[in-house]
Amino acid sequence: MSSDVAVGASAVEAAVGGHVPLLAGSTVILTGASGGIGRTTARVLGAAGARVALTDLDAGALAPVERELREAGTDVLAVAIDASDQAAFAALHERVAAELGPVDGLVNCAGLFEIAAFETIDATAWSRIVAANLGTAAAGCLAVLPAMVARGSGSIVNVASTAGEYGSISPAAHYAAAKAGVIGLTKSLAREAGPAGVRVNALSPGPIETAALRATTPEQKALAGSRTLFARLGQPQEIAAGCVYLLSPLSTFVTGHVLRVNGGALL
């Protein structure tokens, strides 16, 4: 990572913190909280003043994220669930509301990417990818929307992907289809919940420097970065900042939108 990118990334938390943090007093549920983007988003949500409920499949992976936020002074709750399980998510929502307060925001960051040629994708693989990407977003929205609509406020951010907009560059049609479904879900729920004052948006990342990309060859990373107008990979902090914007009072007239944080990879 270049020095200017490092400085910009480290400045994100200061920017969202400020004199009056952008999410001060709000309660946000974050799925996929132990992943590369998820863990950074958790930290930035805390810096922005939110009370944060973390969830992921693996309790062991959640523990260090919870500890990091708690040590930084964030009110945090961590609960391991399968975020595609509607009953489990409904129970999580009830617990969060009881322990942290009414849920003001939801970031559906949980997801799973697998490379597979279409003719090799069996029903099990298809269902697994759709559940991990679209099913988690749907379960989260089902859990939090009724209370948000009843209160007349709230903001949901569904993390999509450029693959859901123009197809997957790597063979992963099931992933692209699921992420396209996330975008369709987002726009439909924005129409349904908008009259009640609830906002539903999607954030579509381009190539981001996460563990998955760091595990590839230098040539593969360079190719991914070359697809952006900055000729570099995006940083998790840049995705987290977009989530904070969509959750915050800065975006009160934004709904049904796909925020492209992709470095110009898709214009």
Residues with a catalytic annotation lie at 175
Q: Tokens 């090799």 label which residue?
A: 120
Q: Which pair of structure tokens corresponds to residue 53?
A: 């409920």
Q: What is the CA radius of gyration of the chain?
A: 17
Q: Tokens 């697998």 label which residue?
A: 114
Q: Which residues of 167-185 are buried (b: 16+ CB within 10 A; e: fewer)?
A: ebeebbbbbbbbbbbbbeb
Give the integer Cα–Cα distance in Å for 85 and 101: 22
Residues whose CB is less than 8 angstroms from the CB of residue 116 and which lie 6 or more positions away in sequence, other chains included: 125, 171, 172, 174
Helix 136-151 with 86-99: angle, nearest 10 deg: 40
